[in-house]
Structures are given as structure tokens and as C-alpha cells.
Amino acid sequence: MSRVTELLGSRYPIIQGAMGVICNPELVAAVSEAGAFGLLATAFAQDPEAVRSQVQATKKLTNKPFGANLFVMNPLAQEFAKVFAEEGVKTVTVSGGSPKALIPFLRELGMKIIVVVPTVGVAQGAEGLDADAIVAEGAESGGVQGLKGVSTMVLVPAVVDAVKVPVIAAGGIGDSRGYKAAMALGAEGVQVGTRFIATKECIANAMYKERIVESGDTGTGLVDMGRFRIRALRTQLVEKMIKGEMGPDNIFTPAAVEAAWVKGDLEAGVLPAGQVAGLISGIPAVREIIEEMVSLNRRREG
Ligand SMILES: Cc1cc2nc3c(=O)[nH]c(=O)nc-3n(C[C@H](O)[C@H](O)[C@H](O)COP(=O)(O)O)c2cc1C
């Protein structure tokens, strides 16, 4: 048993990354049922009781452990943490800002804490604050990232050298080659986001999944949001933002992401995805992805 599987209570050291409003209970439960670790997300949540319903719906679908993400920029993060503790969710990832204020609160609740970091300095800070593990998230990742942009290939071994707690690699991992590469860099687990969007179980709009499948290696770009950036598919909206023809207002609100990610309204918001979209060529069931990822012989996609 690795330090990461011991921490998560799962068979494989694979975390399904939090993905805002598209971490539906069916996806989270399917990931946990297949031996990895599903994660509910709260970045855009506005109501602790709605979060409780998600936990309860997931518990109906699986008896296996799953966790949740707390997004520091969401002012209700502590309220959500209380709900998770009450509902028996024992492990959380913390992302989207400094975990300093949240960690003592989570410790009081008896949570295991995994902090998502973009640089070595932030990783060392998180270890100093008593994190149980670190997710080192490289710049090829889909979704929100900092302004400094260190790639997974460099960030993971640098963080492994800098901290003693287990390191979980994120960013660019979508198949057994990425999984093995992460382990070769010294990671003891992986966190996978984009690959789990293009699955049968994910609630994301069919068009979103198809765009990921169609995307090549240059199919994503970075959108400037001021204090942070978002890696997203190069839709017309993203091209306009990259050219400076449009600002970031209202494209990353709960209503906008629901409209774009779930309903497929490409005018409403951007579709976050990582560069690994260029390696994705099908929309299988979650279990197939996890089984291929941990297998010794890679099965070519498509
Ligand atoms: C659509 C989308 C939404 C995301 N939302 C969150 C989030 O709410 N909280 C978080 O910690 N990370 C979020 N992420 C990052 C993922 O959890 C994960 O770390 C990342 O996708 C890993 O890189 P990959 O996309 O190359 O697999 C999101 C990523 C995507 C693609």
C-alpha cells in the first residue's frame, strides 16, 4: 500500500480532480467504484444544503471512499467543510488560494488535508501548515491556474525534492503513459481532470466532451482573469479574450459555468480543459480509463 492509497483509502493512487459543476455524483461514485478516488467540487456552490444533497446522492451510489474539494475563493468554504464532516467525508483537497485560514479549521473537524499547489514555494508553505499531502499541479492542467506557469515535468520532481509529505502529480495525465511518467518523476499518485470530462458518466454537455475529443495538442489556450488564468478549449469566446477583444466579466460565475459546461451555451462561458485534450480520442466509461491507466500495457486510444 502506498502512502497515497493509505491516505485516500482507495485501491489506486488516482484522484479524480475537482471540476466545478460537472463533478456529478454519478461521476464521483463511478471513479470510486473503479478503485480510484472520486471528488465532489464546491468552487461554484452557493448553498451548504445543496452540497449535502450531493454527498448523500454519492453515498447512495457507492460505499467506497470519496472526497471533496474546498475552493479558498468561495466564501462558504468553511460551511461546506462542516457539511462534509457531518456526512462522513474524511479527505479534502484545498485549492484556489492560501490554505492558511482553512487548515486549522479542517484539523478541528478531523479531516485529512491535501493542498493543491502551483510552485515549490507554495508546496513548502503548505507542508509547513501541516498538509498531509500535496497535489503539484502543472501549467498544462485544465482550469484555474496561477500566473507563473510551471510545467508538470519540472514542478513534480522539484516539489518531490522540497517536501517530505507525499506528492500527487496533476496536469497532462490521461493514460497509462502519463501515470507511469508521474511515478517516474517521484509522485506517489496522480490527479486527473480533463480525461474524466470525456466519459459516459460525466454530466458535462455532449458538445463539451466532443470538443475535447476533437481537440489537438494546440487546442487549448490561457485566458487572463487578472489574478489568475484559466486553461480552456479555444472556442470563439476564448480566441476573442486572448486577442483582448473581450474582458473576463461574467464568464466564470455559477450561472455562466452551468450554462456553458452543462447546457452547452458557448457564448456564456469558457470550457476549461488541459493540453491532455490532444491525447483524448473517445468517450468511454470511467472504469475503462482507470483500468488502462494502471495497466502495464498501454492500449492506444481510438
Ligand atoms: C472543467 C474543470 C474544472 C475544474 N475545477 C476545479 C475546481 O473546482 N477545483 C480544483 O481544485 N480544481 C479544479 N480543476 C482542476 C482539476 O481538478 C485538475 O487538477 C486538473 O484538471 C488536472 O489537469 P488535467 O486537466 O490535465 O488532468 C478543474 C479542471 C477542469 C478541467
In a domain, 94, yes or no: yes
CA-to-CA dists, residue 126 to 99, 100, 110, 217, angstroms: 7, 8, 17, 32
The confidence score (pLDDT) of residue 193 equals 98
Same domain, 219 and 124: no
In a domain, 302, yes or no: no
- Ligand 1, residue 170: give the atom nearest the CA: 22
Of the pLDDT bands very low, low, confident and very high (cuts 50, 70, 90), residue 297 is: low
- Residue of 13, 9, 40, 11 whose CA lies nearest to 26: 40
Same domain, 175 and 230: no
* Tens digit of each residue's pLDDT (9 = 90 or more) over 182-238: 999 999 999 999 999 999 999 999 999 999 999 999 999 999 999 899 999 999 999
Q: Return the residue whose CA atom lies nearest to atom 5 of ligand 1.
A: 19
The confidence score (pLDDT) of residue 296 equals 75
- Ligand 1, residue 204: give the atom nearest the CA: 1
Number of domains in the chain: 2
**Nearest-angstrom CA–CA distance, 245 and 262:** 25
The confidence score (pLDDT) of residue 249 equals 87
* Tens digit of each residue's pLDDT (9 = 90 or more) over 259-281: 999 999 999 999 999 999 999 99
pLDDT at residue 302 tops 60: no
Calculate mean pLDDT across residues 239-265.
94
In a domain, 301, yes or no: no
pLDDT at residue 5 tops 80: yes
What are the backbone angles phi and psi of residue 122, rounded to the nearest 5°? -70, -35
Q: Return the residue whose CA atom lies nearest to atom 19 of ligand 1.
A: 17
Same domain, 9 and 113: yes
The confidence score (pLDDT) of residue 232 equals 98
* Tens digit of each residue's pLDDT (9 = 90 or more) over 90-142: 999 999 999 999 999 999 999 999 999 999 999 999 999 999 999 999 999 99
Q: Return the residue whose CA atom lies nearest to atom 3 of ligand 1.
A: 19
In a domain, 119, yes or no: yes
Range of the domain at 214: 206-275
> Which residues, at least 6 apart from 239, have a Cβ–Cβ distance to it below 8 Å?
221
Same domain, 14 and 86: yes
**Nearest-angstrom CA–CA distance, 138 and 154:** 8
Check if the beta carbon of residue 233 is closer than 8 Å to that of residue 51: no
Is the minimum distance from the CB of 19 to ligand 1 under 6 angstroms? yes
The confidence score (pLDDT) of residue 289 equals 98
Taking phi first (over 0 means left), then psi (-120 to 50 degrees means alpha), and beta for anything else, what does residue 286 get? alpha
Same domain, 240 and 198: no
pLDDT at residue 46 tops 70: yes
**Nearest-angstrom CA–CA distance, 185 and 8:** 21
Is the minimum distance from the CB of 145 to ligand 1 under 6 angstroms? no
- Ligand 1, residue 39: give the atom nearest the CA: 17
Amino acid residing at 222 = L
Same domain, 103 and 164: yes
The confidence score (pLDDT) of residue 81 equals 98
Same domain, 100 and 210: no
Same domain, 250 and 188: no
Taking phi first (over 0 means left), then psi (-120 to 50 degrees means alpha), and beta for anything else, what does residue 190 get? beta
Same domain, 64 and 166: yes
How many A from CA of 163 to the centre of ligand 1?
Answer: 23
In a domain, 174, yes or no: yes
- What CATH number is associated with residue 101? 3.20.20.70
Over the chain, what is the mean pLDDT? 96
Same domain, 109 and 16: yes
pLDDT at residue 298 tops 80: no
How many A from CA of 64 to the centre of ligand 1?
Answer: 22
In a domain, 264, yes or no: yes
The length of the chain, given as a count of residues: 302
Q: Return the residue whose CA atom lies nearest to atom 20 of ligand 1.
A: 193
- Ligand 1, residue 93: give the atom nearest the CA: 11
Same domain, 212 and 99: no
How many A from CA of 97 to the centre of ligand 1?
Answer: 14
In a domain, 299, yes or no: no
Same domain, 8 and 78: yes
